Amino acid sequence: MEKFNKGYILNIYDNDENDSNIKALLDDGRIISLKAKGFQKPESKNRAAIKTGSIVELEYFQKDQYPNSGLLKRGTYVSMFKPTNQRDLSVVRFIDALWTRRKEATDNTFKIIEKIINELNTQIVTWAHVILIIRDYLISENIKLTATKCASCSSSDNIYTFDPRSGGLLCKNCADQNIKPIDVELLKKIIICFSSSDSSFTRKVIFNPNEAAVLREIFMNQLIDDLGVNADLLKLI
Ligand SMILES: [Zn+2]
């Protein structure tokens, strides 16, 4: 059956001499691998339109019983990420590291990535963008962090730290002795990022370099040790 979806291109793998496989995250949350015949030929129109890190209108054939694979007919360029610095490039690679091995994203993943890709070209991506990506990814892993009260005892008093591996915010009574406290100003920003459903508001939160370093440590531990994601790229963001 012929289908149309907007998709974000996670990766392109070359097969034999002429064909390639295109991994795309679709606007309906599916992650699909599309066989692209003749993609490596210099005259291929699809090759000119479809690049890693770009948003593309995809026209493809897919059997209903195989929602994660299909045959590409045509790709039409919508918007393209043009890396201007290492940091932006690392954001795109991080998105790839999170999603390329999965079969499903959340209903919001495509929208979040599309916004971020458009902003990569116009402004410096902040850690608030990265948190949006991580928050959405954790939701896809059924991890919903509590950011309005202590994740353990539900108290709103004496909030002491934020530990995603313990479920979110922790009060002083519930925090394990090994868990470091987090500065109140940073906690306030984390609360905005994890409790606001309005992503345009979240993206305006600015983290200073020290705060970014704390966030990097917290999330790298969780993503690498608990979820097996290659999150070393966060060191470059
Ligand atoms: Zn508590």
Record the pTM: 0.89
Helix extents (H) in 121-208: 127-140, 184-195, 199-202
CA pair distance 72, 11, nearest whole angstrom: 14
CB 154 within 8 A of CB 169: no
Strand, coil or helix: what is 11? strand
Residues with Cβ within 8 Å of residue 217, at least 6 apart in sequence: none
Q: What is the pLDDT of residue 202?
A: 65
- In the predicted structure, residue 200 carries a pLDDT above the cut 70: no
CATH number at residue 23: 2.40.50.140
Residue 64 forms part of a structural domain: yes
For the chain, the average pLDDT equals: 90
Same domain, residue pair 34 and 130? no
| Helix (H) or strand (E) segment spanning residue 46 | helix 45-49
User: Which residue among 80, 101, 136 closes a domain?
Assistant: 80
CA–centroid distance, 106 to ligand 1, in Å, is 29
- What's the gap between Cα 149 and its chain centre? 25
Same domain, residue pair 53 and 140? no
Residue 192 forms part of a structural domain: yes
Q: List the end-to-end C-alpha distance of the chain, in Å, as a whole number.
A: 41
CA–centroid distance, 158 to ligand 1, in Å, is 8
Same domain, residue pair 141 and 215? yes
Residue 144 forms part of a structural domain: yes
Residue 110 forms part of a structural domain: no
Token pair for 182? 């987090």
CA–centroid distance, 197 to ligand 1, in Å, is 24
Residue 109 forms part of a structural domain: no
DSSP class per residue in 80-127: E----SHHHHHHHHHHHHHHTT-SB--TTHHHHHHHHHHHHTTS---H
CA pair distance 68, 24, nearest whole angstrom: 10
Same domain, residue pair 159 and 227? yes
CA–centroid distance, 155 to ligand 1, in Å, is 6
CA–centroid distance, 179 to ligand 1, in Å, is 13
Residue 148 forms part of a structural domain: yes
Same domain, residue pair 138 and 231? yes
CA–centroid distance, 221 to ligand 1, in Å, is 22
CA–centroid distance, 231 to ligand 1, in Å, is 29
CA pair distance 193, 183, nearest whole angstrom: 16
pLDDT of 91-100, one tens digit each? 888 999 999 8
State the total domains in the chain.
2
CA–centroid distance, 185 to ligand 1, in Å, is 19
Q: What is the pLDDT of residue 203?
A: 67
Mean pLDDT of 124-141: 87
CA pair distance 224, 237, nearest whole angstrom: 16
CA–centroid distance, 27 to ligand 1, in Å, is 38
Q: What is the pLDDT of residue 189?
A: 92
Same domain, residue pair 143 and 214? yes
CA–centroid distance, 5 to ligand 1, in Å, is 45
Same domain, residue pair 130 and 44? no
Same domain, residue pair 137 and 75? no
pLDDT of 111-132, one tens digit each? 999 988 887 767 666 788 889 8
- Domain range for residue 197? 126-236
Q: What is the pLDDT of residue 199?
A: 63
Residue 114 forms part of a structural domain: no
Residue 119 forms part of a structural domain: no
CA pair distance 63, 157, nearest whole angstrom: 54
